[in-house]
């Protein structure tokens, strides 16, 4: 009984911090309609800056905490002004999800450079001596954390309900264009809400710092749990965020204590998916904003200009020739990087079918790479299947998961779909770590054989290179053929205007399912090849941060082109291995590329190239048009 | 004058007791009428009369509160919008909804989705029959673009065209699906006089080719010139129906609706 009380109190402490993060989420969501995936990064920022001020510089705890809040406010303000607000002006909602995902990666990368990869723990605010209540010993930090959350909730309620500024904020949340007409500076309210959310995040970090140890990439965890809290509670509802956070914290601690921590994670994510699907407004929620069906119509992301089929064919033949001849000139590490690039290219091409053509965002694509990889690895290592059968088993498992996930999420669109895929990715992450008897747990699965078929084993670097790129080329040609046909046009129609697509007889849910299956199959194939290539597979090779990397490669290369991913993959796989300093800052680089790409180069590198090619003949055509027939 | 719905076995569309309310506002109030097969029927009425709502109900973009719609004898209740399009009831939208990021040719080709037969694997492996189908579709689309004078624009992004041309592309996209009934939502809105005249010729040609056309339109001279059957909707109720001459002779309609509607520049 005392144990149960202690666990429940532990859950309330954890939950009060989830609630603080969730309130930050709700604030930004209400004012801007954006799910700020970078919210958790501020938790880590708050805790680690406090640690540095307190332990490294020797400042008193209170001063260190205040200084950390100030740092979070400044950084939050700068991010809001330089990245978030411009993003809101330029990007569709789905683009904003990717942008904040990029910010999360950027923060993780920066934190890795500043604080390294070791965990940090703050000392408790008022000593280590617990207080005994009813036989249970409760650490004093518990009172601090619950108290801080209570104060924040009351203060926020006061500001929102009783001040003019709070009214302006609520007006922006209800109707931004009407608010503008009433003379409210919407931009300023948006920047304020983002900055306030950053400070709230940092405050949660300072509060939880003495309870759990934090490291550079801990932000992900808080983003996810904060988001689950707010989604369960009802997007944009502060009371929902509070209740959702507390409930999730208690559930998490009880589940972890009485069953297992993997069960607790699975339960939380399952709860999220169920809530997203059955009650998108949350369990206690006020209404979530409904997304306009045509929100994607203004989608500026992706390659807009297509090059002529003949030019495309010449470029393809040239690229294939380069791929075929490269091993003559390069070897060793470079050849190995190129092989890895080939594998990733297969996965990102699949993602392009889903995102660039069908317009569905997936933030959990690495999950299918993981299923394909572990399917192949487990089949060959544990059950002695030949490698080709391993690939097939991975494909079957991936397609089965894709069908189930699509059936569950068929009615979700836009950001909800993106978040459901993120949740699915996290679920697979936790299973890859948790089912250690099958997967080898966090340290990975060793002894995976090389790929072999018909008695020939692909053992050396060169044969593996040709295997990988041979498959990549075949996948490229098959997909290019499909996407050029009626099927590709149907997907592109769905991406830009679902209603108009329906009116032309396009079965939208069915085509979305097809796109999802194709992308899952590509990812699964890539995962199997990954396992055979490295003869090893560990969870971090195929976990959620990889999903964001794939999105980054796709966006910077140029969505909706199939060839764009190649440029993105080469940029993110080859460049860091070629330039050493970049290798250390790989995560930061990926984050900067995604954020910068979305804001400055939404057409991707390929989009810029094709636009430049298209401009020349277009000018010539205008000159050659006879006078009088030039359209006005 | 009360509505005199035309009843007949040859109805392409038969609408009975249709009703739709948004909150407390009744947008369509117990509307019944037929669109006889082979006619060019026009629906007129002032802004806010419920014309576009009616179209959205016919194609199940909105859920009806009460009433039935049958299409050549097939009840449309419970069918998805795309299934309705595949039955042969194809519509356009009030604002030209061409697909951005797709060329004019690709937009028109998208209209042929209903007749595309090749399965995905046939396309993937560049099967000869699938390639032949694509080539045939492309030829048909090019011929249609030629006929409406948009050949020169075939490889331009459809949204880069002027509005009038975008509306023509959208019309072509619907026509090439070879619908049994074509629903047009204000095809002349935003067009200049020359474009409207071209539109009128196109509509007559489409109608003569055997397609039943049901058009919602503000432009009275266009409607009166080409329609052989006119329905008048006001405040969600059908208030008159008949030949263009009947409607023009109906003092109440002219006074209350047609007069007002023509006075409003479109």
| Residue, of A395 and B252, whose pLDDT is higher | A395
Taking one residue from A and the other from B, the number of pairs with CB-CB distance under 8 angstroms is 112
- The chain A residue lying nearest B170, using CA atoms, is A500
State the ipTM, two decimals. Answer: 0.89
The Cα of A146 is separated from the nearest Cα of chain B by a number of Å equal to 43
Give the list of residues 6+ apart from residue A285 with CB closer than 8 angstroms, or none. Answer: A233, A234, A235, A236, A237, A240, A279
According to the model, what pLDDT value does residue A291 have? 41
According to the model, what pLDDT value does residue B212 have? 94
Which of these ranges, A58-62, A174-178, B52-56, B214-218, has the smallest mean pLDDT?
A174-178
Q: State CA A586 to chain mean position distance.
A: 16
- Whether residue B6 is contained in a domain is answered as no
Cα–Cα distances in angstroms (integers) from residue A321 to residues A316, A318, A327, A573, in the given order: 9, 5, 11, 21
pLDDT category of residue B252 using cuts at 50, 70 and 90: low
Mean pLDDT of the region A39-48: 92
The Cα of B226 is separated from the nearest Cα of chain A by a number of Å equal to 25
According to the model, what pLDDT value does residue A304 have? 75
Number of domains in chain B: 1
Mean pLDDT of the region A499-515: 93
DSSP string, A325-359: HHHHH--HHHHHHHHHHHHHHHHHHHHHIIIIIT-
> Cα–Cα distance between B11 and A15 in angstroms, integer?
64
The Cα of B33 is separated from the nearest Cα of chain A by a number of Å equal to 23
Nearest CB among B99, B106, B130 relative to A500 is that of: B99
Q: State CA B142 to chain mean position distance.
A: 22
Nearest CB among A485, A492, A508 relative to B82 is that of: A508
pLDDT category of residue A576 using cuts at 50, 70 and 90: confident
> Cα–Cα distance between B51 and B237 in angstroms, integer?
10
B44's enclosing H/E stretch is strand B40-44
pLDDT category of residue A631 using cuts at 50, 70 and 90: very low
- Whether residue B183 is contained in a domain is answered as yes
pLDDT category of residue B266 using cuts at 50, 70 and 90: very low
**Beta strand extents in A275-413 (DSSP E only):** none
Do the Cβ atoms of A482 and B120 come within 8 Å?
yes
pLDDT category of residue A510 using cuts at 50, 70 and 90: very high
Which of these ranges, A92-96, A298-302, A381-385, B258-262, has the smallest mean pLDDT?
B258-262
The pTM assigned to this predicted structure is 0.88
- Whether residue B265 is contained in a domain is answered as no
Do the Cβ atoms of A507 and B82 come within 8 Å?
yes
With beta carbons under 8 A apart, name residues in chain A contacting B113. 486, 489-490, 493, 504-506
Contact status of B218 with chain A (Cβ, < 8 Å): no
Do the Cβ atoms of A489 and B61 come within 8 Å?
no
pLDDT, one tens digit per residue, over A233-277 is 877 788 888 888 888 888 888 888 888 777 787 888 888 878 877
Do the Cβ atoms of A486 and B162 come within 8 Å?
no
pLDDT, one tens digit per residue, over A390-432 is 999 999 999 999 999 888 877 776 677 888 888 889 889 888 9
Nearest CB among B92, B99, B109 relative to A497 is that of: B99
A132's enclosing H/E stretch is strand A131-133
- The chain B residue lying nearest A500, using CA atoms, is B97
Contact status of B163 with chain A (Cβ, < 8 Å): no
Nearest CB among A304, A492, A625 relative to B99 is that of: A492
Nearest CB among A306, A503, A625 relative to B59 is that of: A503
According to the model, what pLDDT value does residue B125 have? 92
With beta carbons under 8 A apart, name residues in chain A contacting B92. 503
- Whether residue B34 is contained in a domain is answered as yes
pLDDT, one tens digit per residue, over B64-97 is 889 999 999 899 998 999 999 999 999 999 888 9
Contact status of B79 with chain A (Cβ, < 8 Å): no
Looking at the DSSP bridge assignments, the partners of residue B185 are: B216
According to the model, what pLDDT value does residue A357 have? 92
Mean pLDDT of the region A213-233: 85
pLDDT category of residue A299 using cuts at 50, 70 and 90: very low
Cα–Cα distances in angstroms (integers) from residue A172 to residues A166, A179, A193, A595, in the given order: 10, 6, 11, 25
Domain that holds residue B144: 11-258
- Whether residue B132 is contained in a domain is answered as yes
- Residue A259: other Cβ atoms inside 10 A: 12
- Whether residue B263 is contained in a domain is answered as no
Do the Cβ atoms of A482 and B124 come within 8 Å?
yes
- Whether residue B200 is contained in a domain is answered as yes
Q: Residue A92 pLDDT more than 50? A: yes
- Whether residue B4 is contained in a domain is answered as no
Mean pLDDT of the region A340-344: 95
CATH code for the domain of B158: 3.40.50.300
Q: What's the mean per-residue pLDDT of chain A?
A: 85
């Amino acid at each position: 009984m005392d144990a149960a009380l202690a666990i429940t109190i532990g859950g309330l402490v954890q939950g009060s911090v989830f609630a603080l993060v969730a309130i930050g989420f709700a604030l930004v969501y209400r004012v801007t309609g954006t799910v700020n995936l970078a919210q958790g990064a501020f938790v880590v920022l708050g805790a680690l800056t406090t640690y540095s001020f307190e332990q490294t510089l020797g400042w008193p705890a209170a001063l260190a905490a205040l200084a950390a809040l100030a740092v979070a406010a400044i950084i939050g303000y700068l991010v809001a002004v330089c990245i978030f607000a411009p993003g809101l002006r330029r990007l569709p909602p789905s683009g904003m999800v990717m942008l904040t995902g990029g910010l999360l990666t950027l923060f993780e990368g920066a934190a890795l450079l500043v604080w390294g990869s070791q965990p940090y723990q703050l000392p408790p605010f008022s000593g280590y001596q617990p207080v005994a209540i009813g036989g249970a010993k409760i650490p004093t930090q518990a009172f601090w954390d619950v108290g801080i959350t209570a104060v924040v909730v009351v203060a926020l309620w006061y500001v929102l309900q009783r001040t003019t500024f709070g009214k302006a904020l609520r007006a922006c949340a209800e109707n931004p264009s009407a608010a503008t007409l009433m003379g409210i500076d919407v931009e300023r309210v948006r920047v304020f809400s983002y900055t306030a959310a950053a400070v709230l995040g940092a405050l949660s970090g300072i509060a939880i710092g003495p309870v759990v140890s934090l490291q550079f990439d801990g932000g992900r965890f808080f983003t996810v749990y904060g988001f689950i809290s707010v989604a369960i509670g009802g997007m944009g509802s502060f009371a929902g965020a509070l209740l959702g956070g507390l409930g999730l914290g208690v559930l998490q601690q009880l589940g972890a204590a009485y069953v297992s921590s993997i069960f607790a994670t699975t339960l939380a994510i399952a709860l999220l998916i169920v809530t997203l699907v059955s009650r998108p407004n949350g369990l206690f929620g006020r209404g979530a904003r409904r997304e306009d069906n045509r929100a994607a119509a203004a989608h500026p992301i992706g390659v807009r200009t297509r090059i002529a089929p003949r030019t495309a064919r010449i470029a393809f033949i040239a690229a294939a020739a380069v791929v075929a001849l490269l091993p003559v000139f390069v070897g060793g590490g470079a050849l190995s990087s190129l092989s890895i690039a080939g594998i990733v290219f297969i996965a990102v091409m699949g993602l392009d079918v889903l995102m660039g053509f069908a317009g569905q965002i997936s933030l959990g694509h690495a999950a299918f790479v993981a299923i394909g990889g572990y399917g192949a690895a487990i089949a060959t290592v544990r059950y002695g299947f030949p490698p080709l059968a391993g690939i097939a088993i991975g494909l079957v498992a991936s397609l089965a998961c894709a069908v189930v996930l699509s059936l569950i999420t068929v009615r979700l669109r836009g950001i909800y779909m993106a978040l459901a895929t993120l949740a699915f990715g996290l679920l697979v992450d936790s299973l890859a770590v948790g089912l250690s008897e099958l997967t080898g747990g966090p340290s990975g699965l060793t002894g995976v054989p090389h790929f072999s078929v018909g008695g020939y084993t692909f053992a050396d670097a060169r044969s593996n290179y040709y295997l990988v790129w041979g498959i990549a080329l075949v996948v490229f040609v098959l997909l290019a053929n499909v996407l050029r046909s009626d099927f590709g046009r149907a997907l592109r129609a769905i991406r830009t205007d679902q209603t108009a697509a329906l009116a032309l007889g396009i079965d939208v849910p069915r085509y979305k399912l097809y796109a999802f299956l194709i992308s899952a199959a590509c990812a699964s194939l890539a995962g199997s090849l990954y396992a055979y290539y490295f003869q090893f597979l560990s969870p971090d090779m195929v976990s959620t941060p990889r999903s964001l990397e794939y999105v980054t490669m796709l966006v910077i290369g140029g969505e909706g082109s199939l060839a764009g991913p190649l440029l993105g993959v080469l940029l993110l796989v080859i460049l860091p291995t070629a330039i050493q300093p970049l290798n250390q800052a790989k995560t930061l680089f990926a984050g900067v590329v995604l954020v910068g790409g979305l804001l400055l180069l939404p057409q991707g590198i390929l989009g810029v190239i094709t636009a430049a090619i298209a401009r020349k003949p277009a000018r010539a055509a205008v000159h050659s048009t006879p006078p009088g027939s030039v359209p006005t | 004058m009360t509505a005199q719905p035309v009843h007949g076995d040859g109805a392409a569309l038969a609408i009975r007791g249709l009703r739709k309310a948004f909150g407390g506002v009744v947008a369509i109030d117990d509307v019944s009428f037929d669109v006889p097969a082979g006619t060019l029927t026009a629906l007129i009425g002032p802004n806010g009369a419920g014309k576009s709502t009616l179209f959205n109900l016919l194609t199940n973009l909105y859920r009806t509160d009460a009433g039935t719609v049958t299409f050549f004898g097939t009840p449309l209740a419970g069918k998805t919008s795309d299934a309705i399009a595949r039955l042969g009831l194809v519509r356009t939208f009030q604002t030209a909804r061409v697909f951005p990021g797709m060329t004019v040719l690709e937009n028109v080709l998208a209209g042929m989705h209903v007749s595309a037969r090749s399965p995905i694997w046939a396309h993937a492996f560049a099967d000869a029959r699938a390639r032949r189908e694509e080539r045939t579709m492309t030829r048909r689309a090019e011929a249609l673009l030629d006929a409406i004078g948009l050949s020169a624009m075939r490889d331009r992004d459809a949204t880069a065209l002027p509005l009038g041309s975008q509306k023509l592309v959208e019309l072509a996209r619907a026509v090439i699906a070879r619908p049994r009934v074509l629903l047009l939502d204000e095809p002349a809105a935003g067009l200049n006089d020359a474009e409207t005249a071209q539109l009128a010729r196109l509509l007559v040609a489409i109608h003569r080719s055997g397609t039943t056309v049901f058009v919602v339109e503000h432009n009275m001279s266009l409607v009166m010139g080409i329609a052989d059957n006119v329905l008048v909707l006001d405040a969600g109720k059908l208030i008159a129906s008949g030949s263009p001459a009947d409607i023009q002779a109906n003092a109440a309609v002219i006074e209350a609706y047609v007069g007002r509607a023509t006075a409003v520049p479109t």
